[in-house]
Structure 1
Amino acid sequence: MDQVAAFTTFVRVVEAGSLSAAARSLPASLTAVSRQIAALEAHYGTTLLLRTTRQLALTDAGRLLYDRAKAVIAELRDVELALSSQDAQLSGRLRVSAPSLMGRLLIAPLLADFLRLHPDVSVDLLLVDRPVNLLEEDVHAALRIGRLPDSQAVARKLAELTMIVCAAPSYLQRRGTPATPADLAGHDCLVFSDVPGGGEWRFRMPDGTSATMHLRGRLWINSLDALAAAARDGAGLVRVPSWQVADDIEAGTLTRVLADYELPASAVHVVMPPARLGSPRTRAFVDFLALRWRSNNPLRALAVS
């Protein structure tokens, strides 16, 4: 039995609703379609389809095989497309999503080189601080920070990101340096948020547990750039990615605090929907991004002094 051909026939029968309709669409003889379904049932030792004079119904085993067979066929088509396009000139539109700050500072500057390498590809860069729905929003590749939800998306790890708390030396001289997360209750905190209100920062405690601190925020901004600028001006404590303020920490314009309580680094992935696996331009972009970040990691962690 040609299992791939039998899978294709089975899927077509289920979607067409009858053996005869599937035979017409393949095209194949009704006898050949019936034999392939019978061969599948014999091979797996179970009934896949319940046949009546008016309709077909899937058994539980048939429903399982239908889902798996569709996935196998789609995967084979992806492989065929990838191999047939391997030597072809890349072309078409590529839609990429990234968090605003990371996309603006770490992705956008690389796009000119990518476009020079692939002159027939166009790129849409969507900068949003929310998880996008890859399929509904027609996004081919998206950067995600932290734990990935269970999904059918394909993920490739690029780097790790550490969040740190810091403030200007002038603020710390004026208000004191917090020694533990609990001390934040007496400090002015600069909070990343779209909506003013109570903010929360999480920390890892000495016993390995995590603790959430409810903040008395004095400034809420939905821009990490603006928050870091306010911190440099002495407005308060801010929690930002370490890479964003690495130069400030080195120059002494910001001072890192509560380093012993920082959470472990979060993974940064680029995710793609399964249907994009066979897209040469998507694969080329992901490979390009991974190579650039591997040779010069823009999310470098700061040494804890």
Structure 2
Amino acid sequence: MKLPDFEAWAIFASVVEHRSFSGAAAALAVSKATVSKAITRLETKLGTSLFHRTSRRLTLTDSGRALAEHAQRILSEGEAAEEAAFESATAPVGLVRLAAPLTFGIRHLAPTLAEFLVAHPGIRIDLRLSDAFVDIVGEGIDVAIRIAELPDSSLRARRLGPVTGHVVGAPGYFDRAGRPRHPADLARHACFVYTNTATPDLWRFRRAGGEEAAVRIDGPMRTDNGDAMIPALLAGLGVARLPGFLVDDLVAAGRLEIVLGEWSGGSIGLHLLTPPGTLRPARVEALIDFLSDRLKRMCDAPG
């Protein structure tokens, strides 16, 4: 039996991450010809094309997309194995790619990362902030933070704690439109729609005792970022369901009001995600341990 072509698999993973042969060659400090030969060698061995190639664009084939996760795992575990061999003699060093939601990243993650970089001067962080779904494996992300109810997947997930959500609006809006007493009442209100969920137009609720409710909502604004709703909320234009870290200060100041407080919005949690595989470089483990500690304490803090 011939051994797998580990070099070709690792180069394939780098091409997927950098979306080009030349980008992978630069990252790996090899020639573009070496990258091209490795991909051709792997495609010949597998009997299938991994990429659609044009003069302007390089895209994964269906086979390439199915195999990208395996390639990333081979590369990541190879890096982790090498780093583990030297870990006892050196501090963790190198680049960690971290993805997080935009507002949470700015308000809570960025200050925590400043502490981390002081404690680990040999580590560099590539921080990518977006509320859009991130393909962790395809984009070569080492660690991702998600605030969501996670679907089943091959990703490794660590739940750090709950994230409380509130239905909020300006007091003046509720004075005009009335305060909802039951989730069904929201169907008559102007509700802002957060689009980065599986069912953005359907809000589900549960309260103590097990009663459940679901309501279809609509309103004057749809957006993929909760912060973008705040000015319209403060202007009294409608209602939104937002996490506490976005609105708690405004509620405390009396500028926004919580309604339906006895109803929960579901099992939303703060999660730390990593690609599949059991081996991770020491630099990634260091960041995971640091974030797990700091962000779990944030979730556990009262209020």
Query: TM-score scaled by structure 1?
Result: 0.67
- Please give the alpha-carbon distance, in whole angstroms, between the structure 1 residues aligned to 2:106 and 2:231: 17
Q: Deviations over 1:18-69 (max 9, x none)?
A: xxxxxxxxxxxxxxxxxxxxxxxxxxxxxxxxxxxxxxxxxxxxxxxxxxxx
Moved over 6 A (4+): 74-77
Q: Matches of 1:301 and 1:224 in 2, distance apart?
A: 23
Select which of 217, 237, 244 maps to 1:215.
Answer: 217
Q: Alignment identity in percent?
A: 34
The residue identity in structure 1 corresponding to 2:221 is: L
| Distance (whole Å) between structure 1 residues aligned to residue 300 and residue 108 of structure 2 | 9
| Aligned residue in 1 for 2:158 | 156
Deviations 1:150-185 (A, max 9, x none): 333322222211221011111111111011111112
SS in 1 for 2:192: strand
Which of these residues, 182, 188, 191, is aligned with residue 190 of structure 2? 188
Counterpart-to-counterpart distance in 2, 1:76 and 1:160: 34
Matched, 1:138 2:140: yes
Offset of 1:220 from its aligned partner?
A: 2.0
Instruction: Give, as a single letter, the amino acid of the residue that structure 2 aligns with 1:172.
Output: F
Change (3 A) 1:118 1:275: same
1:99 aligns with 2:101: yes
2: distance between equivalents of 1:93 and 1:190?
38
Q: Which one of 122, 126, 129 corresponds to residue 127 of structure 1? A: 129
Alignment check: 8 A CA contact 1:277 1:283 kept: no
User: How many Å separate the matches in 2 of 1:300 and 1:131?
Assistant: 28
> CA contact under 8 A between 1:161 and 1:299: conserved in structure 2?
no
**Structure 2 residue 191 is the aligned partner of structure 1 residue 228:** no
Aligned to 1:110: 112
Partner Cα distance (1:239, 1:264) in 2: 12
CA distance in 2 between counterparts of 1:157 and 1:172 reads 35
Mark the CA change 1:219 to 1:78 in structure 2 (over 3 Å): closer, same or farther: closer
AA aligned opposite 1:139: I
Unaligned runs of 5+ in 1: 1-12, 18-70
In structure 1, C-alpha distance between the alignment counterparts of 2:152 and 2:224, rounded to whole Å: 27
Match of 1:292 among 287, 291, 294: 294
Deviation at 1:208, TM superposition (A): 2.5
CA offset at residue 83 of structure 1? 5.9
Q: Distance in 2 between matches of 1:123 and 1:105?
A: 17
Return closer, same or farther for 1:157/1:185 CA change in 2, 3 Å cut-off. Answer: closer
CA contact (8 A) 2:170 2:257 kept: yes
Matched, 1:260 2:253: no
* 1:8-27 aligned within 5 A: 13=1, 15=3
Alignment gaps of 5+ in structure 2: 6-72
TM-score, normalised relative to structure 2: 0.67
Q: Which has the larger radius of gyration?
A: 1
What number of residue pairs does the alignment pair up? Answer: 233
Which secondary structure does the structure 2 equivalent of 1:97 belong to? strand
Amino acid corresponding to residue 252 of structure 2 in structure 1: E
1: distance between equivalents of 2:300 and 2:222?
24
Q: Is the 8 A contact 2:191 2:219 kept in 1?
A: yes
Counterpart of 1:162, as a letter, is T
